[in-house]
């Protein structure tokens, strides 16, 4: 899809009064009304505007924790400038950059030409500037050539290709999850498009060069992990998180540059992330991980801990965390309805909002030879008072806008690619 899409999301809650906050991507901008961006399966995305109400019109943020009771999604907007540039791509995960980078938006795109239309890559990192969603412009794009050209699998021997998961800015440094994903409808009957062997890479210069935890530093073409030979002669893909248990990870965002002052629930000490059970689409459970803010830059999986308590339990209890991802317990379960979710903390509500979507779970889904094709997706939004829950669904509805084409017989629907459209 070529068009850049923008939309509005209104969130309802139980109190009256006035509070208005703008949210873009996975980023809550609070009272700052500019730099809005979120994600869509086109070239750039949905920008959300959240409207809620409190008791006191004069108070910009509610003191008490609020309950979200519903949501609505506005019509998308087409941006012809990017169509003219032949800009293409999907899964536009994004984060709000630090003041060092003028508060610009950093957005990844997969199978993409990039926002400027000049790449042809599995992975692109785009730096976007602009005072409003309609005025976004490309400040810089990195074609991340080490991750391969569009749809190529490389010499890893797993039949998969590189794709991004979540991205976040922490203390001026960008951190990006990348994993090996299977194309098409593979994964049946457990989910669609299995993903595995995720790694975190980092950039301290606004996405221009990247480093990984395996000895690659400041590489202009990204820092894709490699296939390495073991002492016994077998080969293995370098990975921060081996296997599929934490392979579809998305960071929990607290605001610009993940500033400690904007956080809650220990976010001033830890960076949190969630992952489903290893599928790009239609997984069934979600787990929670965390890493000390002081250690995230080491890019080492053993620095991470995983929540082992009950949903809505005591995440502040050290006994409810383990360094073994196999010990993790789901914070949310929804059979074949959890894809690569985004989570945003909204301080005005003192709530976390998870946005997700799923396809109808039928064997013919995907790009397989049995005639399957992508079907209309369904939005699914949850709220929780803490990262570990309890998570409560407050909105679910079919998507209504076409994704790849608008021909009635072949139209796909927006939904799963709107990953960063946090409420």
DSSP string, 19-69: EEEEEETTEE-TT---------SSSS--EEEEEE--S-TT-SS-SS---EE
What are the sequence ranges of the domains in the chain? 9-398
Q: Is the pLDDT of residue 12 over 60?
A: no
Q: How confident is the model at residue 13 (pLDDT cuts 50, 70, 90)?
A: very low
Cα 120 from Cα 383, distance rounded (Å): 37
Cα 262 from Cα 270, distance rounded (Å): 13
**Backbone φ, ψ for residue 211 (5° rounding):** -130, 150
Q: Is the pLDDT of residue 279 over 70?
A: yes
Give the mean pLDDT of 155-184: 95
Higher pLDDT, 92 or 325: 325
pLDDT of residue 141: 95
Cα 140 from Cα 193, distance rounded (Å): 30
Q: How confident is the model at residue 140 (pLDDT cuts 50, 70, 90)?
A: very high
Let me know if domain 9-398 sits in CATH 2.115.10.
Answer: yes
pLDDT of residue 367: 53
- Specify the range with the lowest mean pLDDT, choosing from 40-49, 65-74, 284-293, 369-378: 40-49
229-265 pLDDT per residue, tens: 999 999 999 999 999 999 999 999 999 999 999 999 9
111-136 pLDDT per residue, tens: 999 999 999 999 999 999 987 777 78
Buried b (16+ CB within 10 A) or exposed e, 161-173: bbbbbbbbbbeeb
Cα 105 from Cα 95, distance rounded (Å): 6
Q: Is the pLDDT of residue 98 over 80?
A: yes
- Report yes or no: 226 and 238 within 8 Å, Cβ to Cβ: yes
283-304 pLDDT per residue, tens: 999 999 999 999 999 999 999 9
Q: Is the pLDDT of residue 59 over 50?
A: no
Which of 47-51, 85-89, 400-404 has maximum average pLDDT? 85-89
Higher pLDDT, 308 or 18: 308
Higher pLDDT, 166 or 84: 166
- Report yes or no: 247 and 273 within 8 Å, Cβ to Cβ: no
Provide the percentage of residues in the chain whose pLDDT is more than 70: 75
Higher pLDDT, 410 or 146: 146
pLDDT of residue 82: 75
Higher pLDDT, 48 or 11: 11
* Mean pLDDT for all residues in the chain: 80
């Amino acid at each position: 899809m070529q068009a850049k899409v923008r939309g509005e999301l209104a969130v309802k809650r139980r109190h009256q009064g006035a509070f208005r906050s703008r949210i873009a991507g996975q980023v809550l901008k609070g009272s700052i009304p500019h730099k809005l961006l979120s994600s869509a399966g086109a070239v750039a995305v949905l920008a959300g505007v959240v409207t809620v109400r409190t008791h006191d019109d004069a108070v910009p943020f509610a003191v008490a924790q609020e309950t979200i009771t519903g949501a609505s999604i506005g019509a998308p907007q087409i941006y012809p400038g990017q169509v003219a540039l032949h800009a293409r791509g999907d899964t536009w995960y994004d984060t709000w950059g630090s003041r060092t980078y003028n508060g610009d938006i950093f957005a990844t795109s997969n199978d993409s030409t990039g926002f400027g239309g000049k790449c042809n890559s599995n992975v692109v990192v785009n730096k976007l500037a602009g005072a409003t969603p309609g005025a976004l412009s490309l400040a810089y794009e990195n074609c991340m050539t080490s991750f391969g050209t569009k749809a190529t699998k490389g010499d890893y021997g797993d039949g998969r290709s590189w794709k991004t998961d979540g991205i976040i800015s922490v203390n001026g440094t960008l951190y990006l999850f990348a994993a090996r994903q299977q194309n098409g409808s593979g994964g049946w009957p457990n989910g669609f498009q299995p993903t595995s062997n995720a790694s975190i890479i980092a950039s301290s210069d606004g996405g221009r060069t990247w480093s990984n935890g395996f000895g690659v530093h400041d590489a202009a073409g990204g820092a894709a992990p490699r296939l390495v030979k073991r002492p016994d002669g077998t080969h293995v893909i370098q990975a921060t998180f081996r296997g599929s248990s934490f392979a579809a990870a998305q960071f929990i965002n607290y605001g610009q540059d993940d500033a400690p002052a904007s956080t809650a629930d220990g976010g001033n000490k830890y960076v949190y992330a969630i992952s489903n059970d290893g599928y790009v689409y239609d997984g069934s459970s979600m787990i929670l991980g965390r890493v000390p803010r002081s250690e995230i830059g080491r890019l080492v999986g053993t620095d991470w801990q995983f929540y082992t308590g009950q949903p809505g339990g005591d995440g502040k209890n050290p006994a409810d965390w383990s360094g073994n991802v196999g010990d993790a317990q789901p914070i949310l379960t929804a059979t074949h309805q959890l894809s690569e979710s985004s989570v945003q903390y909204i301080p005005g509500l003192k709530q976390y909002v998870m946005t997700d979507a799923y396809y109808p779970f039928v064997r013919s889904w995907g790009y397989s030879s049995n005639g399957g094709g992508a079907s209309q997706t369904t939005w699914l939004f949850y709220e929780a008072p803490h990262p570990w829950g309890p998570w409560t669904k407050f909105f679910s509805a079919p998507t209504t806008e076409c994704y790849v084409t608008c021909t009635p017989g072949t139209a796909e629907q927006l939904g799963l690619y709107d990953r960063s459209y946090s409420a």
